[in-house]
Amino acid sequence: MSKIVFQASQKEQLIQKLQKYMSMELDVELGQFDADFLLDFISKEMGSLYYNQGLYDAQTVLADRVDSLTDAIYQLEQ
């Protein structure tokens, strides 16, 4: 899998969410640099798991749609 790269605006939003979460839930003030570093770590170490789960979910939806199409074609053949 290729490296996860966010647009600058997306990364800024994610960093702000990390900072807010750490402050509200853990009472830890996380600076810009530390939040950026943490986001990079999460993306590198865990990102592929989320990405793969998204692919599995998409495969399930696609398989369901193909089954529906197959059923529709079968009904037309009758």
The verdict on pTM exceeding 0.75 is no
Residue 3 inside a domain? The answer is: no
Residue 61 inside a domain? The answer is: yes
pLDDT single digits (tens) 15-26: 999 999 999 999
How many residues are present in the chain?
78
State how far the Cα of 42 lies from the Cα of 6, in Å rounded to an integer: 13
Give mean pLDDT, residues 50-71.
95
Number of domains composing the chain: 1
Residue 1 inside a domain? The answer is: no
CA distances from 72 to 59, 63, 77 (A): 20, 14, 9
Residue pair 37/18 in contact (Cβ under 8 Å)? The answer is no
Residue 67 inside a domain? The answer is: yes
Give mean pLDDT, residues 66-70.
94
Question: What is the pLDDT of the chain when averaged over all its residues?
Answer: 94
For 77, phi then psi, to 5°, come to -70, -25
Residue 63 inside a domain? The answer is: yes
Look up the domain containing 49 and give its range: 8-77
Those residues whose C-beta lies under 8 Å from the C-beta of residue 5, and which sit 6 or more positions away, are none
Residue 53 inside a domain? The answer is: yes
